[in-house]
Amino acid sequence: MNGKTEMIIWSAVSLLVLYLSWRTVSPLLTSLFFGVLLAYIFYPVHDRLKRRLSPEASALLLTIVMIGIGAGFLAFLTLVSLNLIRSFYTSVQDVFSWLTSLPLSGTLQNFVEGLRSQIVPKLAGYVSSFTFSVPGYALQMTIFLFTFYYSLVYGEYTTEFVLSLVPPSQRALMTEIIERVDKTLNALVRAWLLLNVAKSVLMTVGYVIFGVGDFYTAVIAGLLTFIFSFVPLLEGWMLWVAGAIYLYQEGSILGAVGISIYGAALVSPLPDYTIRPMLVARDADLDETLVFIGMLGGTWAFGLKGLILGPVILSVALVLLKEWKEVHRGLN
């Protein structure tokens, strides 16, 4: 077997192994990603704890804390989601029962019955699929916790390990890329925390100004805004929408419109696409438009992960573009 044939065979085998590895890991990417991300966020706490404890004990303690937070949050979301789905299912059933009780013509009656026979089973299927997906959530949570733990334990060796995989001639470039990723992630996390605190305070103030419940209700709304703001699909808009519905049901249409404008402009979604990119751009030395495109395009391309991945990828792309310009200039 000559060298060329051997190279082709080994290249084919390597590509096959890489493809199979990707197929193995891809269903767990979300859990792996958020495990590493949360470990990155909590690493300063781990760095202080491991001075008093061992790295393993510190990581285990933080993992136990994460289990408690995750279990409580998951239980809360599950109860709320199930109640909403059941309430919506019951409401749809009531609407169809009311429609079928009306003196409709034969054609309309058949249309309503046909619509009911299609929609109601699908809603029931959604409820049952949500219930049966709990084991899948448990598996993803297990992967997340293991990733979180080992990322904390071996976090200090990550840069050294990555650099060991790179040829010596490219280590300076890889070091610059790692520093850029670290700076961008720091900016994203800092902006997220600062903005979420501000949004929770503004939501509490909004509930007080527009008279949505008492002061205790306003404080709870602010706390929930802070928590939900870490989940991009939920965000703080849920709280001002709930407040608007409450005020509308109480007969205060002006108040419902007022808190809707206040919430959309100061809580969510407007600050998420204006103030957040500005904060990230300032701390990461990036252009605001680039951060905005990264967040929007990243979410479109990668889902929830894209809010973080998008700006980081574009930031790394700038480093590579700069390096390409330097190389091109040197060749000329």
Please state the rounded mean pLDDT for residues 160-186.
87
- Among residues 121, 155, 189, the one where a domain terminates is 155
CA 141 to chain centre: 15
- What are the residues whose beta carbons fall under 8 Å from the beta carbon of 190, sequence distance 6 or more? 279, 283
Q: Please tell me whether residues 88 and 134 are part of one structural domain.
A: yes
Per-residue pLDDT of 199-242, as tens digits, reads 999 999 999 999 888 888 888 888 888 877 776 556 678 888 88
Q: What domain range is 269 assigned to?
A: 166-331
Query: In this structure, are 238 and 178 located in the same domain?
Result: yes
Helix (H) and strand (E) counts in the chain: 14, 0
Q: What is the pLDDT of residues 283-326, one digit of tens each?
A: 888 888 888 898 888 888 887 788 888 899 999 998 888 888 87
Q: With respect to residue 14, please indicate whether it lies within any of the assigned structural domains.
A: no
* Single residue among 155, 183, 203 that ends a domain in this structure: 155
Are both 178 and 258 inside the same structural domain?
Answer: yes
Place 91 in a pLDDT band, splitting at 50, 70 and 90: low
Cis peptide before 269 (omega within 30 of 0): yes
Among 155, 176, 195, identify where a domain stops: 155
Rounded Cα distance, 315 and 280, in Å: 11
Q: Are residues 133 and 240 in the same domain?
A: no
Mean pLDDT over the full length of the chain:
81
CB 244 within 8 A of CB 155: no
Does the reported pTM lie above 0.75?
Answer: no
State the angle between helix axes of 29-49 and 134-153 in degrees (0 to 180), rounded to the nearest 10: 40
Q: Is residue 17 part of a domain?
A: no
Tokens of 203: 């939501």
Task: Answer whether residue 11 is part of any domain.
Answer: no
Q: Are residues 135 and 216 in the same domain?
A: no
Domain count, the chain: 2
Does residue 160 sit within a domain?
no
132 and 194 both lie in a single domain: no
In a domain, 21, yes or no: no
**Are residues 69 and 188 located together in one domain of the fold?**
no
CA angle 55, 70, 53 (to 5 degrees): 15
CB 291 within 8 A of CB 311: yes
Residues 284 and 135 in one domain: no
pLDDT band at 120 (very low <50, low <70, confident <90, very high): low
